[in-house]
Structure 1
Amino acid sequence: MAERAQYEELVRQFSAFGAVKRELGRILPSDCPSGSAAVLTLLGRHGDMRMSRLAELLAVDMSVTSRHVTHLAERGWIDRSPDPADKRSRILHLTPDGTTRLEALSERTTQLLAERLADWSDEEVAQLTRLMARLRSSFDDSRAAAVPPRLPPPALEATEPTTRTPANT
């Protein structure tokens, strides 16, 4: 198991990774914020699905998912059709315009990553991809199992013993 200092450095790197996510977000068109892009990406990768499954994959509340879905449906990028198995539920699927939008978003993000990682070897990019997939999987596994994190205990600093005296009454 890694040392506590390694986990602390990892936390710092996650914070710094926010800058990468912000830059990726800046290249998205104004009518397709990152949450909407994530929905399009998941529908493109996993195919048609119920809203509850989409919320699960996004790891967000149903109300957040519903806002993203409404935004995309208003633009004609996804359709919501009744679920034949349960008429109360809706099945979400990409429209042809949604597929076109997803392809354009993918091209933008792929191009930016290719530019920023131009000095990385193919193996380094592949290693980063594997490690990020493994990290995500570890979090998926822990969310499903609700296992508390296993961190090494913090080092205890030596302190001077204190003595207490009863208060004068």
Structure 2
Amino acid sequence: MSVTPNTASALVHCIFDLQRSVRCAAGAAPRHSDLGAAVEGVLRMISIAGETRASDIAARLGIGNSAMSRQVADLEEHGLVVRRPDPADGRAHLLSLSPEGRERLAEAEQRRTETIQALLSGWEEDRAHEAARIIADLNAALRAALQNSPRATKAGTTQDHKSATLAGVN
């Protein structure tokens, strides 16, 4: 049996509420860097993909190439990413995280993890694990459905379980 309109609507509202809660939780975390959620999302995608083109990251994040280009220029200026010519296409460049980028991303992920852990201090481990499993299952189902959609992009197709549950706002 397929999902009813009422249930689909409830899921949409719950997902939006979860996104807002995660953004608020991120805001509650002590800030030790000037990285914003969008920058962290780009760094995370580059980390997951390894050396990759900016256009591929833009497609996975569902943003335009011009917005991605601005993000990459800022990240490169701050020494967080390294750009080198793509040997397969001299017009394109491949991106990877610099050592500083890897360090800053790890610090940001640790802060987010500690914040969520503190905010969920009243939860039992089994409940949190089950919530992570359900969210991961929902993400996988949505990605699979999007891959079969003629209007779908690569958005979200490369996030692994860890990044999907830690990222929150990408």
Scaled by the length of structure 1, what TM-score is found? Answer: 0.77
Partner of 1:93: 96
AA matched with 1:137: A
Question: What residue ranges of structure 2 are gaps of 5+ in the alignment?
Answer: 152-170
Query: In the TM superposition, what whole-angstrom CA distance separates every residue of 1:110-160 from its partner, at most 9, and x where no partner exists?
Result: 001101122222222222222222222222223222169xxxxxxxxxxxx
Question: What residue ranges of structure 1 are gaps of 5+ in the alignment?
Answer: 149-169
Indicate conservation of the 8 Å contact 2:84/2:94, yes or no: yes
Q: 2:46 aligns with which of 43, 52, 64?
A: 43
AA matched with 1:103: A
Partner of 2:144: 141
Indicate conservation of the 8 Å contact 1:82/1:91, yes or no: yes
Partner of 2:57: 54
Scaled by the length of structure 2, what TM-score is found? Answer: 0.77
Percent identity over paired residues: 26
Equivalent residue of 1:90, what SS?
strand
Q: Taking structure 1 as reference, are residues 43 and 61 closer, same or farther at Cα in structure 2, changes over 3 Å only?
A: same
AA matched with 2:110: E
Q: Taking structure 1 as reference, are residues 106 and 92 closer, same or farther at Cα in structure 2, changes over 3 Å only?
A: same
Indicate conservation of the 8 Å contact 2:81/2:98, yes or no: yes
Partner of 1:156: none
Residue-pair matches, total:
148
Partner of 2:78: 75
Cα distance in 2 for partners of 1:24, 1:72 equals 24
Equivalent residue of 1:31, what SS?
coil
Equivalent residue of 1:120, what SS?
coil
